[in-house]
Amino acid sequence: MRQALLERFLRYIKIDTQSDGQNLESPSTPSQFEFAKLLKLELEELGFHRVELSDKGYLSASVPKTIEGVPCIGFIAHLDTAPDFSGANVTPQLIHDYDGSEIKLGEDELLSPELFPDMLKYLGKTLITTDGTSLLGGDDKAGISEIITALHFLLQHPEIPHGEVRLCFTPDEEIGRGADHFDVPEFGAQWAYTIDGGQLGELEFENFNAATAVITAKGNNCHPGTAYGVMVNAQTMAARFHAKMPLHDTPEGSKDYDGFFHLINMQGQTEAAELTYIIRDFDLELFEKRKTWLTERVKSYNADLVLGSLEINITDSYFNMKEQILPYPHIIDIAEKAIINQGVTPLVKPIRGGTDGSRLSYMGLPCPNIFTGGHNFHGKHEYICLESMEKAVDVIIDICKLTAKEQQV
């Protein structure tokens, strides 16, 4: 399977499928739909059943059950790559028998274990890197490659007992819309796993509660020569507001289960300015307190103003999937056993972000997240270990076997 997995992955990452948060259509970029069409043809040629591509860019397919009385389960990955860094003209490098040294990425960039010490976990392994001009696209074309490779193996081996296995490849996960048009009843699985994690062994069923806060400063513009007592500079108001935000309650000042406020955009002119924050916390009560605190701070700021004003609008984005998954502990137990069966220690940890699985869990499809084998997603230093990708394939296959063994009624 190694060669098929590698060839599949290298073929997929050549296709630029960056999503576009400014486009409200689904998919947000035509290239995602074109990629889905190519995958549809491939799945049909490989013998998958019920291969369907929706007009919103969701590609689904099935491996038929080989025994009765086993729950239908699913595996999910996303078609798009992040808009954070270029996904065009990906030129991968294969580093065989990695020796622990720096890896040159093109002319000007280095992938160094001094900066990325996790590289040293892969001595003697095969690494796939960028050439320093693009991201690699392992997030999540590695997941797509691993799911297809694993489920094709099941198709080729009908003697393996398992229930019906579903797959779905979704658009626009990187811009938070991967579950927008996901049809849970039509998908038909009792639970699923997103194959969208990082390093070898990762198993995640907790993620941030998330919201976006937009604070609008309203000022008053006039000619600066006659501004005395009249002009209210909205940009100045916004800058002073942000300057008094907590200094260390930020992504760069937090880790593990810490939450944060993160200023992701500031723009404006004298007349009006805007601050956009994302709010994150694992604990729902603390999450609500963060939203209340920011709202009260805007009110307090306004109370001290003579002219001008701030307004705040907070929109919830997604919630911690832990609350929807813990009532079904067998979902986690099966995944942990499958990882252990491959000789890998499960790395159970919270996602300091979100996945399609977080929203799908609240839509009635409990959906933990499993590793792909990659590191440093969304940038030019992204790399992935081929042997870790093989382990992900084996974990997917074993989850199907264990589900049949432990959940058959």
Which residues line the annotated binding site? 78, 139, 174, 196, 378
SS3 content of the chain, % helix, strand, coil (to 5): 35, 25, 40
Tell me the CA distances in angstroms from 367 to 31, 164, 193, 310, 391, one per residue in order.
Answer: 27, 17, 5, 39, 20
Catalytic residue among 16, 20, 173, 356: 173
| Angstrom distance (rounded) from CA 382 to CA 380 | 6
173 catalytically annotated: yes
| Angstrom distance (rounded) from CA 337 to CA 163 | 18
Cβ atoms of 390 and 142 closer than 8 Å: no
Catalytic residue among 80, 202, 206, 394: 80
| Residue 44, token pair as written in the block | 């049909």
Complete DSSP assignment for 373-401? SEESTTSTT-EEEHHHHHHHHHHHHHHHH
Strand partners, 272: 218
Edge-to-edge strand ranges of the sheet holding 191-197: 49-53, 59-63, 165-170, 73-78, 191-197, 369-371, 202-204, 347-348
| Residue 363, token pair as written in the block | 């839509």
Binding site members for Zn(2+): 78, 139, 174, 196, 378
Residue with tokens 């799911």: 147
Catalytic residues: 80, 173
